[in-house]
Amino acid sequence: MVEFHAARLDNTFHALADPTRRAMLKSLSVHERSVGELAAPFQMSLAAASKHIKVLEKAGLVRREVKGRTHVCRLDAKPLSDVRDWLRYYERFWSERLDVLEALLREDTSAPPAPPRGKGRTR
C-alpha cells in the first residue's frame, strides 16, 4: 500500500516537473480540450505534445475520453490533493521559518531607539 502510494507520488511529481505539462493542466482547468487544442499553444509536434499528455495520464491528472474521432482530455485534480496531503507534514518547517522572521521583526521594532549621537557631550 505504502509502495503503491509512493509510486503514485513519483508519477505525479514527475508529471509536474515540466512547464509544458503544468501549462496543459492550467489549460484543462479552464475547459476540457481535444489533444489538438491542448497541443496548439506550444511550439512542438503533435507527437511531442501527445507524449506530455501520456505522462499526465499516467499520473492520473488527465482523463481521456474517445468521442468518435476526437480524444477529449479532462483535468482530474485528485493526485494534486495527494501532493497537498504529503506537503502537510512539512508545513511546520516553513511556518517555523516565518515565526523566527516575525520574532526578529518584533524584536527590531520593540527595541528602544538608539541614544542620539553625542548625547554625552551635552551633559
- Contacting residues toward a second copy, per CB under 8 A: 6, 9-10, 13-14, 16-19, 22, 25-26, 29, 75, 77-78, 80-81, 83-84, 86-87, 89-91, 93-94, 97
Instruction: Give CA–CA dist 71/115, Å, rounded.
Output: 74
Pull the grid cell for residue 47: 507527437
Alpha helical stretches, state H, 1-123: 2-16, 19-30, 35-39, 46-58, 78-88, 91-110, 119-122
Angle of helix 2-16 relative to helix 78-88, nearest 10 degrees, comes to: 110
Shortest distance (Å) from residue 117 CB to a second copy: 38
> In the complex with a second copy, which residue's Cβ is closer, 26 or 46?
26
Shortest distance (Å) from residue 91 CB to a second copy: 7
> In the complex with a second copy, which residue's Cβ is closer, 12 or 39?
12
Shortest distance (Å) from residue 109 CB to a second copy: 24
